[in-house]
Amino acid sequence: MATEAVAPAKINLTLHVTGQRADGYHLLDSLVVFTELGDHLWLTPSAVTSLQVTGPFAEGVPEDRRNLVWRAAELAGMPLNIRLDKQLPHGAGIGGGSADAAAVLRTCGGQARAAELGADVPVCLSERPQRMRGIGDVLEQVSGVPAFALVLVNPGVQVPTPDIFRVLARKQNPAMAERLHWPSRAAFLSWLAEQRNDLEAPAIATAPVIRDVLAALRHANGCRLARMSGSGATCFGIFESDAQAREAAAQIAAAQPGWWAHATRSIGSIEV
């Protein structure tokens, strides 16, 4: 019997580039959340591993060992028949293949070796808000992060992460505060508005349409904040209500039929 797993979209609410190591890897400080929207996988134990990719973004996704989910099955030590329903655009700064691979590891084991598949895979093992530092290897669960209505928009262009880092002019930028604490939802949103995605400007220089995406979100009714996620090109808008988010996504999709625009909700912290 197949086991269903969900690979939620990963959103970098903040992405501060704080340095670069001698080996070329960049140092980051990022607050990461996940969403109710994601890819779906069905995993069935099998004699040999196989992969079938379906869904609106199946085109161009490899169905062999080039796909991280295949390699995740190898790390888990469990041959699987995998069906992957791609609901999220790939190469879009929202986790994509890393989240898919993490879903396999989370379901079948092998989590301790997640970093072998890429710097973004370990953070995708949990759906709760996390602070990601170092090269993505220093993770910390974060309390006090509220859930909120979101609109995700991707203009249908890919901006390869190495290219964005290559044109990033300043590699030494301030980190977030050492201690993250917000007494209220309003305080969180005020703090978030003061943070940055240091890759946003170089991404816009590489793909100017990202500026148009941000403008569309910011002009939508109820949008509290719009920012690019990861290295792009997906941008997110935080909205006051689910209804306003759904309305904004529908209006943006109607105005720009070539863009991917979806309303969803983020997954907040578990408070104890």
Q: Binding site residues, as ranges? A: 89-99
Number of Cβ within 10 Å of residue 144's Cβ equals 16
CA 61, CA 173: separation in Å to the nearest integer?
35
CA 23 to chain CA mean position, Å: 25
Q: Is 120 a known active-site residue?
A: yes
Which residues are annotated as part of the binding site for ATP? 89-99
Q: Which residues contact 104 (CB under 8 A, 6 or more apart)?
A: 5, 41, 43, 69, 72, 73, 76, 80, 82, 110
Alpha-carbon separation of residue 9 from 65, 89, 125, 134, 260 (angstroms): 22, 10, 12, 21, 14
Active-site position among 10, 29, 86, 198: 10
Active site residue 10: yes
Distance separating alpha carbons of residues 71 and 143, to the nearest angstrom: 32
Q: Catalytic residue, from 39, 100, 120, 198: name it.
A: 120
Which positions are catalytic?
Answer: 10, 120
